Structure 1
Amino acid sequence: MSIALIVEFSVKPEHLDAFLSVMKTHAEASQQEPGCVQFKIIAASAAMDGRVFLFEEWRDQEALDWHLKHSKLNDTRKQYDPWIFNRHIVHGHVVNNPS
């Protein structure tokens, strides 16, 4: 059973474009890592809504642990931390995975 993370960011409006740029780079790098099934960035479509969601799916907890330890996640967080005012992470298992 694969592992999923849903991460919700509340981004300061003046930093939304920069945040999305940094996250696109991070997503592209993450998708090249062993065990990354998918890494999606979803921006809210409502006007004036600075929420951005990540949907990450990893083959298993070992793959996610590798990502947390070996990726440039800490450098990415240092970049975006001043641009956000909230982050919420949901960790779960993918129950249905259509082929």
Structure 2
Amino acid sequence: MSRLPGKRARPVLRGDRCSNATVLPDEIWFGIITRQSIRRGRYSSVHVLIKQILGYINSWNTNAKPFTWTATADEILAKVRLVQTRVKKLVNDNSK
């Protein structure tokens, strides 16, 4: 990443971000940390926020528990079929 004088460096995203296999665990983790830690506090500075996040991560790692699926494959597939049916109905209703 090159920088021009007086310009901020722009991040370059690489990789296939469409793959749910890699995105889903990230989204779950950031959702958890946001709900359980970040939204619950008031922070006087970015430094205080960073300390809170690092403290939460250390606590999470100390008491780590793996994510477990609570739905069966059949339940998940039934929900997918239901959503597909509803989306098709919406598309058909909007095309009239």
Q: Which has the larger radius of gyration?
A: 2
Higher helix share: 2
TM-score by length of 1: 0.31
- RCO higher in 1 or 2 (8 Å CA, sep ≥ 6)? 1
Higher strand share: 1
TM-score by length of 2: 0.32
